[in-house]
A and B are shown apart, each in its own frame.
Chain A
Amino acid sequence: MTAISPPRAPSTPPPPPPPPRRRGWNSTGLTRLRREGAIAPIAAFAVFFVVYVIINPELLTRFQLQTASNLVVPLALVALGQLVVVLVGGIDISIGAVMSLCNVVFATQLLTLPVPVAILLAVLVGLGCGLFNGFLVAYAGLPAIAVTLASAFIFGSLAREVLDRPGGGVTKEIYLATSGELLPFVPVALVWLAVIAVGLWLLLQRTALGRHIYGVGSNMESVRAAGINARLTKLLAFGLAGVLTSFGAMMLASSTVTGDPRSGDPYLLSSIAAVALAGAAFTGGRGSIIGTILAACTLGLIGNLLFFAGVNSYWQYVISALIIVAVVGLPVVWRRVAFRVKGIRS
């Protein structure tokens, strides 16, 4: 700092790298994962996977791997959609209905239209549903839970209007392209999930829009005061969620080889549960993609595990509940204990 000089351009010698803070502070992706609450769900999945393989080593056969992925991938995609809405501080009650609607649109359009057009239509329907919710939430200022609850009824009725009983024109080729095997031991569904997840990760972590989405959830007022269009960000987040949901719907229609206007209903609570299990903050601003995917895998496979363990499948909900409470509760308990220990030590 010297005497009066015009503000220096950053042509000054490059700054020395800041001194390493304690414990690799902020320096790794691990810190980001921890900040986004993903450590607990990742650990939970690891434990769950080991237990699963011990109880049922058959999982690692080609057939079971394929059916298991077909089971969890739609849930994982819908959970990612839910995650994006939760990141901006909302919640999407209509996500199951949007899924049903996209599912039947996809299945029925396959009867008459070429496959790419049917896909495009389904994605557009998902986008439209998301933007409808997003507009009411972001620009009309209505609470997300009320808006999406209302639109859930609308989208659900539309789905039944499009197709009132399971059916549609999903063909074997489509099944193979989405739910078959790419290579031995590599189910296609997992590949699609990976592609979409990486794309979403790039969008959320490597574009300004993605960071805005996190920022809007973290502190809407700050983001606005910084001159960012917070409403548009919210609207786009809802639209993005709709698109992700439509992907999940198409994966579901393909793997079951039918369109079904009720197929999305169970995914509403499961998607919220997966986001909760992923350690995301329901006030917004915090949540990780990998955590959500692994949480969805855990929740999606509990039913299978209990089947193989010979437990009545009604228990699957109780077990899911216990896992959620344990994974979400452990960090809270941990913080309390750490605080006590610190107090005793000092």
Chain B
Amino acid sequence: MSTPTPAPPIATGASTASASAPQTAPPDARPAAPPADALLVATDLVKSYGPVKAVQGVTFHCNPGEVLALVGENGAGKSTVAKMLAGAVTPTSGTIIVGGEPLASGSVKQSRLSGVRCAFQELALVPDWTVAENLSLPDGAPLRGFSQKKSVAAASALLSAFDLPHIDPRAAVGTLSLADRQLVEIARALAGKPRLLILDEASSALTPPGVQWLFTRIRELTAAGGSVIYVSHRLGEIAEIADRGTVLRDGQVAGEFVRGGWTDDELISLMAGREAERFFPDPPERTTDAVALSVTELRSEGLDGVSLSLGAGEILGIGGLQGHGQAELLRALFGAAPAVADEWTIAGRRIKGTTPVRSVRHGLGYVPEDRKREGLALEMSVGENLLAPWLKAYQLGGRPRLAMERGWIDGILSALSVRTRGSNELAGSLSGGNQQKLVFGRWMDRSRTVILLHDPTRGIDVRAKQELYGAIVDLAKQGVGILWFSTEVEELVHVCHRVVVLYQGKVADELTGGRLTADAIVGAAVGSTGSISLTTDEEDLR
């Protein structure tokens, strides 16, 4: 099995982009004027959701046969831009020109007809449809015959042409693993032989062989003259595949770069916009060896015998790729999903199983994955949301209760510097970062033994992140055990005492001290035993 020899990751000039003149500009150069034969020219794209401006004036272009990376942090507007190109979101203003013609915006179908296809991170497959149905149904008119047999045959031909024989076209998509779903999604986008393929974080769940598979497909497409817009924040992948790139920050273009003309540090500071981003507090010294929580052989849906123990005052990180059991682990430990274990103790007390109500009584706290859906009652006030775990049905509620708890509520709001007009404001009107602080804050100063955190810093701004880091470290100082699942490897490396990496529902590795590095976490997360570096080329990935 040989893959096309890639251009060396650090090359000079844009090798395959015939049209772009060799640029030696530093990464922070302002957008250059697009060449006349550019396949895609996006000019001054703006998208606002009510008062919130997700994208404010983004301009970039993409040449034929080129891979353009679109990078930026969470919330920088990458996905919104990708969705505007795909037609899933209508721009508030601005123009998109594909192949010389303006793109009819606001309709996925129109975009598809103009040869623009998009593989979304997780959005566009219907779970109750089979793989074959998902591959064939979006094309064509609704009032036309549909034959399961023919679609299965077409799907298996397509899947084998794309070298994916292990996916059963008759399986319902909902039964596939996340990685397989992404492969199907990419295959569907590729099936239309698009002129412009948009990959919106399409590699987020793929294993290294899966990423190599994707790169092979991308090279096939660009060799045939198609272009690819590669949305990602994995710098290693961008180094390997991207000819050019555009960096987004806070909905604006922060800079551009060409293959070989950048370093990781330059790009990161461009994405983050300030050095402060790199600041992480150190985990506090541990003062006791007491065990706050321990389980052996915890089994649940998606968990295949996980054993771990968490000390009082310890910050234990949980690493791994999405869908390998991290969410399930936290839910099971909190009792939100049924689970059994051989042994299970909280603060030394043995328990057989738990439910959320009992967990709170035992001294657990939980910050769930989706703050809007699981974390908060958006139509209720800030104060009531903070008090949510502590409201008993027979107690006072509403304003009298808020007045009674005034001291605690104000303490939390100021400790986390939640920006709110007061405890009577609706939780739904707060920004994402401040909402996250509420979900977290409700467990502070309530004599918890363990707090379970599900990626609490996802999608919130830098300042809010650092305030949360500070609060987490403070809690650990008070002797609370923190179990912290994060998708940001840097957080795990810098703020945790110890990191447990999950792979396919099991503990793949436990990292402490000198072994606790970003490479080791990523390596264990993809199931390899040794440590690998994401930023080197493919020999190491084998």
Assess the B220–A6 pair: CB atoms within 8 A: yes
State whether the Cβ of B338 lies closer than 8 Å to any Cβ in chain A: yes
Chain B residues within an 8 Å CB radius of A221 = 123
State whether the Cβ of B252 lies closer than 8 Å to any Cβ in chain A: no
Assess the A211–B137 pair: CB atoms within 8 A: yes
Task: State which of A4, A16, A210, A343 has its C-beta within 8 Å of the C-beta of B299.
Answer: A343
Assess the A210–B169 pair: CB atoms within 8 A: no
Chain B residues within an 8 Å CB radius of A8 = 161
Assess the B126–A218 pair: CB atoms within 8 A: yes
Task: State which of A2, A14, A15, A35 has its C-beta within 8 Å of the C-beta of B172.
Answer: A35
Assess the A210–B146 pair: CB atoms within 8 A: yes
Task: State which of A222, A232, A339 has its C-beta within 8 Å of the C-beta of B126.
Answer: A222
Task: Report how far A2 CA is from B193 CA in the complex, Å.
Answer: 19
Question: How distant is A318 from chain B, measured CB to nearest CB, in Å?
Answer: 32
Chain A residues within an 8 Å CB radius of B338 = 339
Which A178-232 residues have a C-beta within 8 angstroms of B?
205-212, 214-215, 217-219, 221-229, 232
Closest to A226 in B: B138
Chain A residues within an 8 Å CB radius of B112 = 227
State whether the Cβ of B216 lies closer than 8 Å to any Cβ in chain A: yes
Pick out which of these stretches binds chain B: A21-29, A162-170, A249-257: A21-29
Assess the B163–A25 pair: CB atoms within 8 A: no
Assess the A227–B138 pair: CB atoms within 8 A: yes
Assess the A25–B168 pair: CB atoms within 8 A: yes
Task: Report how far A21 CA is from B4 CA in the complex, Å.
Answer: 33
Question: How distant is B174 from chain A, measured CB to nearest CB, in Å?
Answer: 8
Which B168-212 residues have a C-beta within 8 angstroms of A?
168-172, 190, 193
Which A1-38 residues have a C-beta within 8 angstroms of B?
1-10, 12, 14-18, 21, 25-27, 35
Assess the A229–B126 pair: CB atoms within 8 A: no
Assess the B143–A26 pair: CB atoms within 8 A: no
Chain B residues within an 8 Å CB radius of A228 = 109, 137-138, 142
Chain A residues within an 8 Å CB radius of B129 = 211, 214-215, 218
Assess the A227–B219 pair: CB atoms within 8 A: no
Task: Report how far A169 CA is from B79 CA in the complex, Å.
Answer: 63
* Known interface pairs A1-B3, A208-B140, A228-B137; A6-B224 also in contact (CB < 8 Å): yes
Assess the A10–B142 pair: CB atoms within 8 A: no
Chain A residues within an 8 Å CB radius of B157 = 10, 12, 14-15
Chain A residues within an 8 Å CB radius of B443 = none
Task: Report how far A16 CA is from B125 CA in the complex, Å.
Answer: 25
Closest to B151 in A: A211
Assess the B127–A218 pair: CB atoms within 8 A: yes
Task: State which of A4, A212, A222, A225 has its C-beta within 8 Å of the C-beta of B4.
Answer: A4
* Known interface pairs A27-B170, A208-B141, A222-B123; A227-B147 also in contact (CB < 8 Å): no
Task: Report how far A217 CA is from B127 CA in the complex, Å.
Answer: 10
Q: How many residues of B contact A (CB 8 A)?
A: 61
State whether the Cβ of A285 lies closer than 8 Å to any Cβ in chain B: yes
State whether the Cβ of B108 lies closer than 8 Å to any Cβ in chain A: yes
Chain B residues within an 8 Å CB radius of A229 = 109, 142
Closest to B353 in A: A343
Task: Report how far A223 CA is from B169 CA in the complex, Å.
Answer: 18
Task: Report how far A209 CA is from B128 CA in the complex, Å.
Answer: 15
Assess the B87–A227 pair: CB atoms within 8 A: yes
Chain A residues within an 8 Å CB radius of B159 = 15
Chain B residues within an 8 Å CB radius of A223 = 126
* Known interface pairs A7-B190, A10-B161; A208-B142 also in contact (CB < 8 Å): yes
Question: How distant is B108 from chain A, measured CB to nearest CB, in Å?
Answer: 4
Task: State which of A5, A205, A209, A224 has its C-beta within 8 Å of the C-beta of B108.
Answer: A224
Assess the B161–A12 pair: CB atoms within 8 A: yes
* Known interface pairs A7-B193, A211-B133, A215-B137; A225-B108 also in contact (CB < 8 Å): yes
State whether the Cβ of A346 lies closer than 8 Å to any Cβ in chain B: yes
State whether the Cβ of B223 lies closer than 8 Å to any Cβ in chain A: yes
Task: Report how far A163 CA is from B361 CA in the complex, Å.
Answer: 64
Assess the A227–B108 pair: CB atoms within 8 A: yes
Which A26-62 residues have a C-beta within 8 angstroms of B?
26-27, 35
State whether the Cβ of B42 lies closer than 8 Å to any Cβ in chain A: no
State whether the Cβ of A233 lies closer than 8 Å to any Cβ in chain B: yes
Task: Report how far A229 CA is from B87 CA in the complex, Å.
Answer: 13
Which B451-505 residues have a C-beta within 8 angstroms of A?
none
* Known interface pairs A206-B146, A211-B146, A285-B128; A225-B219 also in contact (CB < 8 Å): no
State whether the Cβ of B414 lies closer than 8 Å to any Cβ in chain A: no
Assess the B156–A18 pair: CB atoms within 8 A: yes
Chain B residues within an 8 Å CB radius of A211 = 129, 133, 137, 146
Chain A residues within an 8 Å CB radius of B71 = none
Assess the B126–A12 pair: CB atoms within 8 A: no
State whether the Cβ of A286 lies closer than 8 Å to any Cβ in chain B: yes
Assess the A25–B146 pair: CB atoms within 8 A: no
Chain B residues within an 8 Å CB radius of A232 = 142
Assess the A18–B142 pair: CB atoms within 8 A: no
Closest to B124 in A: A225
What string of 1s and 0s marks CB contacts (under 8 Å) between A45-82 and chain B?
Answer: 00000000000000000000000000000000000000
Between A and B, 9 residue pairs with Cβ closer than 8 Å are A4-B4, A12-B161, A26-B171, A210-B146, A222-B127, A225-B108, A225-B124, A227-B138, A232-B142
Binding site for A on B (CB under 8 A): 1-4, 86-88, 107-109, 111-112, 120, 123-130, 133-134, 137-138, 140-148, 154, 156-161, 163, 165, 168-172, 190, 193, 216-217, 219-221, 223-224, 299, 305, 338, 340
| 10 smallest beta-carbon distances between A and B, as pairs | A227-B108, A218-B128, A15-B160, A225-B124, A209-B142, A26-B170, A10-B157, A226-B138, A227-B109, A343-B340
Instruction: For the A-B complex with A4-B219, A236-B142 known, give 16 more contacts whose Cβ atoms are closer than 8 Å.
Output: A6-B223, A9-B161, A12-B161, A16-B165, A25-B171, A205-B146, A206-B147, A207-B143, A207-B144, A208-B144, A215-B126, A215-B129, A219-B126, A222-B123, A228-B137, A285-B126
